[in-house]
Structure 1
Amino acid sequence: MITTLKSSTATAQIKSIGAELISFKKEENGVEYIWNGDAAYWPGHSPVLFPIVCAVNNGEIRVDGKSYPLKNHGFVRHNEFELVEASESRAIYRHTYNETTLAIYPYKFDLYITYTLEGNKLEIDYRVNNIDEQEIFFQLGTHPAFNCPLEEGGHIQDYYLEFEQKETLERLFMNKSNQLVSGKSEVILENEQILPLSYEMFEEGALVFRNINSQRVALKSKESTKSVVLSYENFPYMGLWQPKNAPFICVEPWHGIADADNFTGELKDKEMIISLNPGESFKSSLTIEVN
């Protein structure tokens, strides 16, 4: 099922599988900002990553000495969400545990995702509730894909990311299994705000950054006034990804990161793991502004 949100200046569409944003357009120009999901490049649009970000070693997590199979980016992106509330400009989705999820992730949880469209801004709020009788552990990430270029005739070389603050970005590398390569990194930005984009920068896969200081980053072009601005809270890490020569780029604020290729610990030992005691909640947010 697809739900359409409308404001005075924009429309957004969310599908119930994965509670995934699949479209975001400005009414005045009809420009689509979200990737269309063409499987020739990548069938996603803006999946939610839970309860892990990227991949775990050997395709499994370990909890209290027991192993559970868990695929890349977790399972909720493939599962049906319940639409618990809807209005013209707001939609609230819920995913809760079930017997199938307990077989691969042995915790009881509620995950709520709320979309609120106001003008040309779409706020996405995430809330994880621990409804178990034990402490639970998880990661949470975003994966929005934005058309790049945003209009015909543009080139990726025209585009850049502009961070809110000056950043020193040390790139971490991923292997073909979507795990961090131990001991390999490269500083690609040093005390600067502008990161130029190119196809070549993705030849070795995704770029992963720890501890981003900025709470805001914009996708802009030197040749166009159209842009996308991301504002985020409680997502301290970031990934950038693009399949080979694809006409889009993923800008992905995360609260989590892949296993390193030599990681042997349990889920609770993972880098950037979130822990909740029974009855506690975790909240984060991502706001997408299109211009």
Structure 2
Amino acid sequence: MNTILKNGVAMAEIKKAGAEIVSFKRLEDGTEYMWNGDETFWPSHAPVLFPIVCAVVNGEIRVDGKTYQIGNHGFAKWSEFELVEESDTKAVFKLTYNEETLTKYPFKFDLFITYTLVENKLEVKYKVDNIDDKDIYFQIGTHPGFNCPLDKDTQFEDYYLEFEKEETLERFFMDKTNVVISGKSDTLIKDSKILPLTHELFYEGALVFKNINSSKVTLKSKKSAKNVVLSYENLPTMGIWQPKNAPFVCIEPWYGLADTDDYTGEFKDRDRMIHLKRDESFECLHVIEMN
């Protein structure tokens, strides 16, 4: 059974598989802000990416000279979480390492995801504890898909992303295996807060940004008052993605990045890795605000 969080303004629904939000809805008019998971385009809603973001070359990581097979975005999105705390407006989910995870990722961890509903905002907080007897390394990221258009009287090309600060966004490209193509990039915007959205923008895959100055980005349209504000902390990189011509867009703050297509090194030496010593913790969060 899915977990329901509800107040007088909004309702959120989260499933145990992946501790994934499947719905975030405004009660006043029934507007749904999250993608519905239609398999025609993409069967997910907002998976957590752990212990890697995107992909590794040949689906392999190397730890102390030993090779492990791990899939795109890691395994947390497929894992059954334990619901360890629940109230009308808060739910805490936990994933602990097990024999299966150790065959893919040889580190012991606890991953907590806490959902808190406050008026029209849903806070999603992530906490990783190192419970191993050695240092651990990982990446973590978010992947929420937002309906776009949000209003029946608008279309996708009416929407744009508005960043909190002026940005010069250099886009990096990924190949079909979801690793970064070495030496290929393009500047999408320069000294601007606005990134206009078109379907064609995503025909070569996700937009990957290594450096984002803003801690907030808004999906909005000049033709509708409805918008989504996504704010985030301790998630310094970002992906923006849409399957071809889909009626939604994913805004994905990450702490992490895919391998480059020529990477052959150890897991701990990959770009944008989090390093935790024994008994240390890492925290990050993002907040979805519906308007």
TM-score (norm 2): 0.99
Distance 2:210 2:76 in 1: 24
Residue in structure 2 matched with residue 222 of structure 1 by the alignment:
222
Q: Deviations over 1:163-221 (max 9, x none)?
A: 00000000000100001000000001100000000001001000000120000000001
Residue in structure 1 matched with residue 21 of structure 2 by the alignment:
21
Distance 1:82 1:144 in 2: 21
Residue in structure 1 matched with residue 244 of structure 2 by the alignment:
244
Distance 2:246 2:266 in 1: 36
Residue in structure 2 matched with residue 201 of structure 1 by the alignment:
201
Q: Deviations over 1:7-54 (max 9, x none)?
A: 110000000000000000011110000000000100000000000000
- CA shift at 1:151, angstroms? 1.9
Residue in structure 1 matched with residue 210 of structure 2 by the alignment:
210
Q: Which amino acid aligns with 1:29?
A: D
Report SS of the residue matched to 2:114: strand
Residue in structure 2 matched with residue 267 of structure 1 by the alignment:
267
Distance 1:110 1:246 in 2: 35
Distance 1:174 1:272 in 2: 16
Question: For structure 2, which runs of at least 5 residues remain unmatched after alignment?
Answer: none
- CA shift at 1:153, angstroms? 3.2
Distance 1:41 1:153 in 2: 22
Q: Which amino acid aligns with 1:44?
A: S
Residue in structure 2 matched with residue 287 of structure 1 by the alignment:
287
Distance 2:75 2:66 in 1: 19
Q: Which amino acid aligns with 2:89?
A: S
Distance 2:115 2:276 in 1: 24
- Give the number of equivalent residue pairs: 291
- CA shift at 1:55, angstroms? 0.4
Residue in structure 2 matched with residue 173 of structure 1 by the alignment:
173
Map 1:108-127 onto structure 2 (within 5 A): 108-127=108-127
Q: Which amino acid aligns with 2:265?
A: G
Distance 1:191 1:265 in 2: 35
Residue in structure 1 matched with residue 70 of structure 2 by the alignment:
70
- CA shift at 1:266, angstroms? 1.0
Residue in structure 2 matched with residue 146 of structure 1 by the alignment:
146
Report SS of the residue matched to 2:226: coil
Runs of 4+ displaced beyond 3 Å: none
Distance 1:165 1:109 in 2: 35
The yes-or-no answer on 1:257 pairing with 2:257 is: yes
Question: For structure 1, which runs of at least 5 residues remain unmatched after alignment?
Answer: none
Distance 1:183 1:153 in 2: 41
Residue in structure 1 matched with residue 79 of structure 2 by the alignment:
79
Q: Deviations over 1:231-283 (max 9, x none)?
A: 10000000000000000000000000000000111110110000000100000
The yes-or-no answer on 1:48 pairing with 2:71 is: no
Q: Which amino acid aligns with 1:180?
A: V
Distance 1:266 1:8 in 2: 50
Report SS of the residue matched to 1:58: helix
Report SS of the residue matched to 1:225: strand
Report SS of the residue matched to 2:5: strand
RMSD: 0.5
